[in-house]
Chain A
């Protein structure tokens, strides 16, 4: 079993829809959580990161963490075709080296 599980999709929604992307993790040592966006043939680009349980909002994006259930989510409001990409959740332990542990990535398409 992978340490971070993420539904690979693909997920296809119409423009303007609210998108919900989710990951679960298995190790309580993971304390920071990130969402990266990766366009085709590009490197991952950090969207948001959070430490605490609860919500963190940045424009049309909201990251949600529930440490009690080991569940993390990313919501995209008013989705745009430019949001079409692969979304990767990632986590890291506080102690020790900074190596990121990624989910498989969800491929998202926003249809005009």
Chain B
């Protein structure tokens, strides 16, 4: 497909379990972003990759959150020892810009809806 693909679409886990969320960006897109969207709120930035380099992880809420993009394409967001407050929609976005804004909007996937019981 031509868009950003995320899997799984829905994930239910028990408190304390580890989860892994996958993002396939648009082919050739250099920049990849993860956002967290709580119910009734706008997305909030988590982390940003340019190719395989994680250039900004200032939005990760705790050291339980870890993201990687080892080959500069697919990315995985991992949450260890999940807590109920981690329940949210996790959105991935990509664009072809390097570094600054560059007049290239971010294209979003449909997200992974994570529920922690």
B110 touches A41 (CB 8 A): yes
Assembly CA distance A99 to B36 (angstroms): 12
Chain B interface residue number, banded: 20 to 34
A97 touches B105 (CB 8 A): no
- A42 contacts across to B, CB distance below 8 A: 110
Q: In the complex where A99-B33, A103-B42 touch, is A43 in contact with B105 (Cβ < 8 A)?
A: no
B48 touches A34 (CB 8 A): no
List which B15-31 residues lie within 8 A (CB) of chain A.
Answer: 31
- Does A46 touch B at the CB level, under 8 Å? yes
B-contact bits for A78-112, CB 8 A (1 contact / 0 none): 00000000001010111111111111110000000
Q: Which residue of A lies closest to B95 (CB)?
A: A98
Q: In the complex where A44-B91, A97-B48 touch, is A102 in contact with B43 (Cβ < 8 A)?
A: yes
The one of A34, A43, A95, A104 in contact with B91, judged by C-beta atoms closer than 8 angstroms, is A43
B59 touches A99 (CB 8 A): yes
A43 touches B106 (CB 8 A): no
The one of A4, A90, A94 in contact with B100, judged by C-beta atoms closer than 8 angstroms, is A94
A104 touches B41 (CB 8 A): yes
B45 touches A96 (CB 8 A): no
B42 touches A104 (CB 8 A): yes
A96 touches B100 (CB 8 A): yes
Assembly CA distance A34 to B43 (angstroms): 13
A-contact bits for B61-72, CB 8 A (1 contact / 0 none): 000000000000
